[in-house]
């Protein structure tokens, strides 16, 4: 994994910028590649589209499209699954996780970016571990411990469990960002008599704001979509949308398929709104990992 501060040869950008745009129509190999991409997208569209179409369908059995269209499933899903409460919980959990992980993560990222001290590598590795491990492996012991202390089964348990991957994520996205800021700015502020607190609040915070915003949005998207940890720790009244969706799906047959689809569409549109917001501030690649794409010339 590279950091955001990778230095690339200075000539690369100019060469890239001056070459004409790549032709799209080319050799058979290119056709094959584009064919595969288009096939993937057609199927993806089918997967998402069939959920959306089904949620508006009156009845849909053995035909290409439903018999008629209606919006009644949304009303039904809204009342049957108590979606207002579920969405409120989802927002509460996500915002709490974002706020707490920033408060805990940013100072740690600052120290890790600026200082060298004995044991730094080990500490960095410990922060990396929760991201590398699959949530189920540490989620089950974590849920056991949280239940032991009576924290799981309600909101606090869900928030605590979701913090486990979020705090390291904030640290890992913020560290390279802080490294980019010239330390001389802080030294200058120190020389002018600023204490640590005022250095943080009036010098670093404004400079870090774009980075903080980006990692906050990434944590938000990941938390709303996080299934495993929430699933393992949530009680009946602390389910987030994705967990409620899972339960309604695994109890299929009791309710109409379409009302489950309607709930899935509500979840999808919530995620898409978040995604549109996120993409205004961050590079698409950052949503999956901490690797920066080629800088835009």
Partner 1 sequence: MTSPPTAPPAGRPRSPRAHWQHRLAERGIDRQLWLLVPALLFVVLLFLYPFFYGLGLSFQPTKGGPFSDYARFFGDAYERDTIWITLRIALPAAVLNVVASVPIAYRMRGRFRGKRLITILLVVPITLGTVLTAQGLLNFLGPTGWFNRVLLALHLADEPVRLIHNYWGVFFSLIITGFPFAFLLVLSYLSGIDPTLERAAATLGAGWWQRFRTITLPLLMPGLATTFCLTFVLAFSVFPSAVLVGNPAGETRVISIAAYQAAYEQYDYPYASAIAVIMGVVELVIIALVLAARSRLYTGSTGGKG
> Which residues in the 118-137 window bind partner 1 by CB under 8 A?
118, 123, 126-127, 129-130, 132-137
Return all residues near 289 (Cβ < 8 A) that are at least 6 apart. Answer: 1
State in angstroms the smallest separation of the CB of 216 from partner 1.
16
Please choose, from the candidates 133, 208, 201, 200, the residue with its C-alpha nearest in 3D space to the C-alpha of residue 175: 208
| CA atoms of 69 and 252, how far apart (whole Å) | 22
Cα–Cα distance measured from residue 242 to residue 276, given in angstroms and rounded to the nearest whole number: 19
Please state the closest distance from residue 79 (CB atom) to partner 1, in A: 20
169 lies in the binding site for partner 1 (CB under 8 A) = no
The secondary structure of residue 133, as a DSSP letter, is S
* Interatomic CA distance for residues 139 and 157, integer angstroms: 12
Torsion of CA 52, 265, 222, 245, to 10 degrees: -120
Please give the Cα distance from 91 to 220 (Å, whole number). Answer: 9
User: Closest distance between partner 1 and the C-beta of residue 75, in Å?
Assistant: 19
Angle (CA) 19 12 207, round 5°: 120
Q: Identify which range of 10-18, 70-78, 79-87, 208-216 contacts partner 1 by CB under 8 A.
A: 10-18
Q: Does 116 bind partner 1 (CB under 8 A)?
A: yes
10: contact with partner 1 by CB under 8 A = no
Helix axes 241-250 and 205-225, enclosed angle (nearest 10)? 10
> Which residue's structure tokens are 């809204």?
78
284 binds partner 1, rule: CB under 8 A: yes
Q: Is 86 or 261 the residue whose CB approaches partner 1 more closely?
A: 261
Q: What is the full DSSP assignment across 239-251?
A: --HHHHHHHHHHT
Q: Which residues between 37 and 66 bind partner 1 (CB under 8 A)? A: 37, 40-41, 43-44, 46-51, 54, 61-62, 64
| 34 binds partner 1 per the rule CB under 8 A | yes
In the complex with partner 1, which residue's Cβ is closer, 87 or 249? Answer: 249
Applying the rule CB under 8 A, the residues between 141 and 160 that interact with partner 1 are: 141-146, 160
Residue 110 engages partner 1 in binding (rule: CB under 8 A): yes
**84 or 196: whose CB is closer to partner 1?**
196
Residues 261-280 that bind partner 1 (CB under 8 A): 261, 264, 267-268, 271-272, 274-275, 279
Count of residues near partner 1 by CB under 8 A: 105
Residue 173's contacts (CB-CB under 8 Å, 6 or more residues apart) are: 211, 214, 215, 218, 286, 290
Q: Does 103 bind partner 1 (CB under 8 A)?
A: yes
Taking the C-alpha atoms of residue 132 and residue 127, their distance in angstroms, rounded to an integer, is 10
Residue closer to partner 1 by CB (options 16, 237) is 16
Over its C-alpha atoms, the chain yields an Rg (Å, rounded) of 23
Interface with partner 1 in residues 172-231 (CB under 8 A): 190, 195-197, 221, 225, 227-228, 231
Q: Decide whether 82 or 190 has the Cβ nearer to partner 1.
A: 190
């Amino acid at each position: 994994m590279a950091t955001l501060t990778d230095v690339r040869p200075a000539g690369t950008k100019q060469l890239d910028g001056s070459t004409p745009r790549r032709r799209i129509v080319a050799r058979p190999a290119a056709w094959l590649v584009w064919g595969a991409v288009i096939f993937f997208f057609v199927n993806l569209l089918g997967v998402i589209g069939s959920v959306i179409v089904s949620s508006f369908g009156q009845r849909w059995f053995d035909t290409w499209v439903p018999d008629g269209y209606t919006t009644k499933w949304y009303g039904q899903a809204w009342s049957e699954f108590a979606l207002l409460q579920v969405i409120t919980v989802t927002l509460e959990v996500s915002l709490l996780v974002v706020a707490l992980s920033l408060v805990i993560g940013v100072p740690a990222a600052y120290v890790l970016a600026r200082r060298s001290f004995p044991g730094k590598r080990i500490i960095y590795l410990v922060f990396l571990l929760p991201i590398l491990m699959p949530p189920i492996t540490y989620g089950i012991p974590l849920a056991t411990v949280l239940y032991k202390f009576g924290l799981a089964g309600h909101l606090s348990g869900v928030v605590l469990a979701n913090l486990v991957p979020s705090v390291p994520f904030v640290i890992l996205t913020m560290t390279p960002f802080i490294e980019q800021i010239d330390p001389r700015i802080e030294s200058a502020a120190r020389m002018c008599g600023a204490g640590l607190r005022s250095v943080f609040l009036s010098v670093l915070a404004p400079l870090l704001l774009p980075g903080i915003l980006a990692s906050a949005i990434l944590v938000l998207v990941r938390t709303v979509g996080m299934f495993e940890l929430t699933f393992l720790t949530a009680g009946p009244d602390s389910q987030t949308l994705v967990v409620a969706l899972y339960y309604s799906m695994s109890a299929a047959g009791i309710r109409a398929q379409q009302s489950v689809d309607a709930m899935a569409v509500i979840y999808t549109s919530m995620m898409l709104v978040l995604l549109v917001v996120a993409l205004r501030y961050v590079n698409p690649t950052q949503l999956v990992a901490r690797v920066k794409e080629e800088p835009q010339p």
